[in-house]
Structure 1
Amino acid sequence: MRLQKNTERGSTLLEMMVVTLIIAIMSCISIPLIQDSLATRQLEWIARSFIEHAHFARQQALHLSESVQMTPRIENDWNSGWVIESSGSKKAWFMQGSIDPVYFKGGGKQFSGPNTSQKGIIFNAAGAAKTAQGGFVANRLILSHRRRSNIERHLILGSGGRWRICNPQVDSKACR
């Protein structure tokens, strides 16, 4: 009778610890990069949504030949979201809810009338962006992320009605 040699192969505890250490190091390096990427995507999604909604409000004003306004959902707080409605009939088309964890720096103090603190953008029947007092709006909103405060996007409305999203970390001159 011959004795069989045990030929089963397995990992030693040391080998398993080395593999675990390598996985832990890779995780420590990649998790902050993934979090930055997710925060950037959230920020850009909100920025693009805001601009798309502003374009919609302008198009409705042109189509209906009446003023359409884009205002904060809760009085003077863009961070609560926004509403697009007809100024005359007060017909609301849609509403964007809370944008947390993204927020407007300074509560989105921009786009307020020169003589009042009322925030909002009114697109007149010709499609021009105005404040509630009729002054032209050429301004910016600054978006940031609560968990990654170093990430910002500037939403800039030019005098011709053109919107831009500006990344101050990449193109600081264009964000001025």
Structure 2
Amino acid sequence: MKRWLPFPLISAFLLAMWLLLNETVAPGHWLLGVAFAWAVPYFTRQMQPVRALKVRRPLIIAQLFCVVLFDICRSCIAVSLVILGPAKRRQNSGFMTVPLDIQAPHGLAALACILCCTPGTVWVELSADRRQLMLHILDLHDEEWWTHTIKQRYETPLRMIFE
């Protein structure tokens, strides 16, 4: 049954939505809805993401959340000062690469969310071997400081959580 109907709840939802959107329960729409509700999950089953992990180390998750929240607030102030400050200060932006140790897909996704949500940093590219991360930093004053900050404040706790 799982082979022919890989995600029964999604199929039931799709069928219900089909009937609601067409505003009819005519036999032809039931037939089209069943075909649609079966075909979409069946043909997209290979595109499903990696299974979610169990929550491990909730204390570290809470600590990481507080660190990220603090860093976002601090970064908002710093970015505001860069934007509203003198024009010559804006010339410090640039690209840098950070070596990565984390390999877990969920950990990389969490790191991407953290870095993209922090004002002044943008995740640009991840190398094919997942060992190098390219970032754009609005106020790139010291690459070593940024590398140390990312590895110690974000990557280390994420490795403890996901690996």
TM-score band by shorter chain is under 0.3
Structure whose residues are more often strand by fraction: 1
Question: TM-score with structure 2 length normalisation?
Answer: 0.28
Computing the radius of gyration from Cα coordinates, the structure with the larger value is 1
Question: TM-score with structure 1 length normalisation?
Answer: 0.26
Structure whose residues are more often helix by fraction: 2
